[in-house]
Chain A
């Protein structure tokens, strides 16, 4: 039985992206995109090179060479010295066990540290404290000059996979199945020194924690490989709510066994989490789920949003959601409210459109569930972007400048609003005409 994936066809009125620019440069999979400022972004990947691009023109601004192996983490870092103008830096970590701080305006290497025992897998900048943290087999705290302020003892060989800042100088780290909370304590002897102290270990997840996201000052969320989503209180680190296997069709007792067999763990793993104030958006397997924090339940989902795993998901300001997947496509969704009378029977076709439709029985199950939850939301596909020939690893939303996507096919594609670009080109054209002084007097 084939799962039906929603398609939109060739007519996409709401899809603004009618122009694309292919940015070539990388020699291997491009895994990371980070925004530097309003019109610049950096890309990094398995070739160990960092490129800086102009998001408007697609111009390659700088090539940063320094790492010998693939880049494992990248974080933008803007210095906020009151005296000088804002300086944009980026920190990159690589599998060659080095971390480099780059100057984005010159492309120079400012600092390089190579005293790590293992690969640094995550980097977090704590702007407030003016320090940054690196997470590998241990957690290190650095100041801006790249002096090691303090470090934890060796935690695990697997290392820290995710790192998020919490209030009260705390950080949450995902180490395997465990969630460890550390607190930074200002050391007494030195003015700049910090000590790091383990505060709590939380072992509620059944499997490795893959994603960790901070929702607001009082909440953060974790997702694991087997599809558990836990909402934590950011202050006392208690479990506020959890959804276990709620998207796993295996929980339904009457599910057909062949489906169960085909259910690989990957299809339920929480690949990526993002959130706004109200909801957490989870990329789980091939699907997208919207979990409402207040209602503490999933309010909308697309079980088969993509043909294969969704790798990255992002919420746009305009109730839209963008997801990218291993199938090489990027899809734009809109979260819409659908007022449904509870008494009205739900036709099966309706669910089919959602991507629920596996079997009638299952649909009925879902229908019952849905009927309880009013108002109803659903994710409507408003457009898809086909350009990459391989998995789209990540994307970066630049507002009206467009969307940058990076992929395993070594390319970065800048998707742009064709109308806007055309208008901008006209503007440039007439500016240039005026400059050249041969503005034609054509007025109609």
Chain B
């Protein structure tokens, strides 16, 4: 509402084109320069010539060890979506930029295979030939039968609009991380249970082999071993070894969730408590005890139904066997959860990027108006954590039930605020060290763990040798890390910082021990910058070089060294910023993310202290930033100071197109740039609301109905006045559909009384009571001829002083007189506005103005309370009325509207957090009049 995206609504092709062209010229305030090629039937949102798909979609691919990269599924699952787009080809592309180089298997110097808990990597790539841009999220899943126990997968959000990918990178990353975490949680469970089964098989095999050997020994009287016997003994030995290996793997997979939980923003996915024994992750004590015991005994108790099989010494070749499907890999529950999440992502990011950004901006602005925003806006979504930068580290899906359950079950303390990104390649695992001690005392599992430390170091060296392998026509346009710096101050704030130096030291130590997880250092993502400084020094890897310091003088920050824990994070963030610049330079200054950290360095994230988030219209500013001239950057405080930062909107609105143009120019030298793709919309589908598509549709529909209402009913003004002044309006009619339509239309004028419930009741058939008027401000009421209907009408006439009655059948309205001017602006029956959504925006903007008036009125001390103690009440009243009339320019009944809104604001503000607003009914003793058509 604040940033009236009428421009989008107007130019979007969602309704009849004819209507659009036939309508009279727009009012001045809506005029935008016309698209130069509009006369040729083209519009700036036309489909890009070389994109072969009709709309954005999500692709899940796998790098199969049998057939190579292959697409698995798309969301939406519709062949039309991808069109002629070659999914196989694109899968190959996106899979070939997997930086993880996930090393698994037998590392040199180690007797046993090691699992790598590989972090996801997130890259953006573009394919000029296909006209496709993608956010690619790589992840690996464990599969006992797979080579190295891992199966690389990736999820990609594919769009023809490069800007969308770049500008929504953080949001995409956040959402895909959730999906990925869900998949991986399910996968760990499945893998653990698979391992358990395998262990049972092995144990059974061992027993069988052992018996056979014994029998052979007994029957053997020759005094020497037959080849057969030797073979059996070898086989037995290999089974024994295999058992130890698998036990070790099981221990590793089980130790994972706990390690993650240490990061405190990790919410392992726990659907059923019955399952969690398998996972064993949520309860560290249980995990420890599990691991310190020999595995088999309790395994049998867990899954007694499983009958072990004999394992042949030589298993089938891997090409013969059928690999597990993704569904099998991840446990059906988690798989469907992930799909839900992906569908949600698809819905969220559907549509034009301009629209998405506008939506985000208006949400950010709306959030600031914490006092008044509940009145006419649906603010329930503001409570959710917006999918913004500070949200990135979130693990698992944000499902309350799951979170709650986890917090109930897990004894580990959880910090509610997400602590930056879990992507940091460092993990603290103090518990693991304890395990080491315990385990080393355990005679049965001696080797695997004691060697671990050394092994880890070995891995790292080995891992670092992996490198980027990108196809020729694939350009990495942006990487995940570039905005990591944003989160640092928040994580500092919320991190329970331990002041003892000992603790910090042990942290560093433990990080090193688990550096097996920092596989990600291999990627070009600036994740390497997350490696502690001292650690980094030991790496001669080319990736860790810091080459970008000289040419970017403007970004040199004098390191502020604090001798406390935050130092490390500061360092990291600084490095990240450097890296950001680097990546930005490489990719044609396109990264949307590094815009924000630049002016924000050392500050809190803007949302926290109420500073307006800078709209992502950044290119020139970025240039400034890169040149080191920060002076030109608009001051955040200046923006937040105003009540209604309209200037921001206009700036943004005009900015968007220019931005894309300027970026074109600037980047034209970049060979990787696909010029034709600039500012295109990849789909024809209407842009959804960022949160709820249904509510968006509802808004549109309500707007349309409201338009129809104000055109159709000459007495629309007093009806709307009734709603705005808090007098319950009853829509009376026989036909439910018609009444509901009217109620929907009028509902956009109803001020909310509290944060959550909209005081609108669409259909009531029973007689009304005074309580109903207290609760509902707009009611659809059934008119019947039955005796019950008489009661309904009787109640209505009884309470007629509290209500206005709109009779939908006879087209009459009974309500107080309205002589103000405000509603006529709100609902002009000669309005030029044709579209529902546009009208909705119009209403919202006028209502916002109204809100600001009400705010001003409510919070002016002297309008309500005497200046001195002796001042009589009358003079306060006259001052109040003067203010309303002269300062706010309200006439007649408009005063009552503002007064009513002010009462709502007061009630909301003085409300104690625990209890809800006391529902009270305010009314006036004013005569009603009957209006007829």
**A residues whose Cβ falls under 8 Å from a Cβ of B:** 9-13, 15, 18-22, 24, 57-59, 328, 383, 386-389, 409, 411, 413, 416, 418, 421-423, 425-430, 432-433, 439-440, 442-444
Contact = CB atoms under 8 A, between A and B. Distances in A.
Contacts of A9: 927
A359 to B, nearest CB: 29
A21 B926 CA distance: 20
A21 B774 CA distance: 8
A442 B859 contact: yes
Contact of A425 (B770, B910, B924): B910
Given A386-B801, A425-B910, A430 B861 contact: yes
B906 interface: yes
A444 B926 contact: no
A10 B906 contact: no
B591 to A, nearest CB: 37
B922 A429 contact: no
B311 to A, nearest CB: 69
Contacts of B907: 425
Closest 6 CB pairs of A and B: A426-B864, A12-B925, A425-B906, A387-B770, A428-B910, A10-B927
Given A386-B798, A387-B770, A425-B907, A19 B920 contact: yes
Contacts of B928: 10
Given A426-B858, A444-B860, 17 more contacts: A10-B927, A11-B927, A13-B925, A18-B923, A19-B920, A19-B922, A22-B771, A24-B771, A383-B925, A411-B771, A413-B770, A421-B920, A425-B903, A427-B864, A428-B906, A429-B859, A430-B864
B721 to A, nearest CB: 16
23 contacts: A10-B927, A11-B926, A18-B922, A19-B920, A20-B920, A22-B919, A59-B918, A389-B795, A416-B920, A418-B922, A422-B864, A423-B864, A423-B865, A426-B858, A426-B864, A427-B864, A427-B865, A430-B865, A432-B910, A439-B861, A442-B856, A444-B862, A444-B887
A398 to B, nearest CB: 16
A440 B863 CA distance: 13
B872 to A, nearest CB: 13
Contacts of A22: 770-771, 774, 919, 921
B881 to A, nearest CB: 13
Nearest to A23: B918
A416 B484 CA distance: 56
Contacts of A421: 920
B-side binding surface: helix, strand, loop or mixed?
Answer: helix
A303 B666 CA distance: 92
Contacts of B865: 423, 426-427, 430
B309 to A, nearest CB: 66
Contacts of B899: 422
A8 to B, nearest CB: 9
Interface of B: 769-771, 774, 795, 798-801, 856, 858-865, 883, 887, 899, 903, 906-907, 909-910, 918-928
Contacts of B862: 443-444
Contact of B863 (A57, A427, A444): A444
A443 B860 contact: yes
**Most B Cβ at <10 Å: residue of A15, A19, A22, A413:** A22
Nearest to B771: A22
A100 B928 CA distance: 50
Nearest to A416: B920
Nearest to A15: B925
B858 A429 contact: yes
A285 B887 CA distance: 55
Contacts of A433: 859
Contacts of A409: 769
Contacts, number: 103
A413 to B, nearest CB: 7
Contacts of B800: 10
A433 B907 CA distance: 13
Given A425-B910, A427-B865, A429-B910, A20 B918 contact: no
A96 B798 CA distance: 37
B771 to A, nearest CB: 5
A210 to B, nearest CB: 29
A19 B925 contact: no
Among B770, B883, B926, B928, residue most surrounded by chain A Cβ atoms (within 10 Å): B770
A333 to B, nearest CB: 16
Contacts of A432: 909-910
Nearest to A384: B801
Nearest to B769: A389
B923 A21 contact: no
Contacts of B920: 19-21, 58, 416, 421
Contacts of B887: 444
Contacts of B799: 386
A24 B862 CA distance: 36
Nearest to A21: B920
A428 B905 CA distance: 12
B925 A429 contact: no
Nearest to B800: A10
Contacts of A389: 769-770, 795, 798
Nearest to A22: B771
A388 B798 CA distance: 10
Contacts of B770: 20, 22, 386-389, 411, 413
A21 B918 contact: yes
Nearest to B886: A444
A21 B773 CA distance: 11
Nearest to B909: A429
Nearest to A58: B918
Nearest to B861: A430
Contact of B861 (A21, A425, A443): A443
A10 B864 contact: no
Contacts of B863: 444
Tell which of B903, B906, B909 has the most Cβ of chain A within 10 Å.
B906
A15 B926 CA distance: 11
Nearest to B767: A389
Given A428-B910, A442-B856, A10 B926 contact: yes
Nearest to B801: A10
A386 B794 CA distance: 13
B909 A19 contact: no
Given A413-B770, A442-B861, A57 B918 contact: yes
B890 to A, nearest CB: 14
Contacts of A444: 860, 862-863, 883, 887
Most buried by B among A9, A59, A429, A439: A429
A421 B44 CA distance: 56
A383 B923 CA distance: 14
A429 B906 contact: yes
A331 to B, nearest CB: 14
A406 to B, nearest CB: 14
A21 B927 CA distance: 22
Nearest to A57: B918
Contacts of B801: 10, 386
A140 B899 CA distance: 57
B453 to A, nearest CB: 53
Nearest to B921: A20
A416 B922 CA distance: 9
Contacts of A15: 925
A328 B801 CA distance: 15
A19 B921 contact: yes
Nearest to B873: A423
A347 B521 CA distance: 104
A429 B927 CA distance: 32
Contacts of B922: 18-19, 418
B909 to A, nearest CB: 6
A60 B915 CA distance: 12
Contacts of B856: 442
A430 B98 CA distance: 59
A444 B774 CA distance: 34
B860 A19 contact: no
Contacts of B861: 430, 439, 442-443
A426 B906 CA distance: 7
